[in-house]
Amino acid sequence: GEDVEQSLFLSVREGDSSVINCTYTDSSSTYLYWYKQEPGAGLQLLTYIFSNMDMKQDQRLTVLLNKKDKHLSLRIADTQTGDSAIYFCAPGQYSSASKIIFGSGTRLSIRP
Partner 1 sequence: DTGVSQDPRHKITKRGQNVTFRCDPISEHNRLYWYRQTLGQGPEFLTYFQNEAQLEKSRLLSDRFSAERPKGSFSTLEIQRTEQGDSAMYLCASSPSDSNNYEQYFGPGTRLTVT
Chain residues that interact with partner 1, rule: CB under 8 A: 4, 30-31, 33, 35, 40-45, 48, 88, 90, 92, 94, 96-98, 100-105
Instruction: Give min distance, CB of 5 to partner 1, in A.
Output: 11
Query: Shortest distance, CB of residue 80 to partner 1, whole angstroms?
Result: 22
Q: Would you say 19 or 94 has its CB closer to partner 1?
A: 94
Choice between 12 and 102, CB closer to partner 1: 102
Closest approach of Cβ 102 to partner 1, in Å? Answer: 3
Cβ atoms of 10 and 20 closer than 8 Å: yes
Query: Position 75: which residue type?
Result: R
Nearer to partner 1, 34 or 76 (CB): 34
Using an 8 Å Cβ cutoff, are 22 and 4 in contact?
Answer: yes
Of residues 26, 34, 32, 47, the one with CA closest to residue 108: 34
Q: Edge-to-edge strands of the sheet including 9-13?
A: 9-13, 106-111, 85-92, 31-37, 43-50
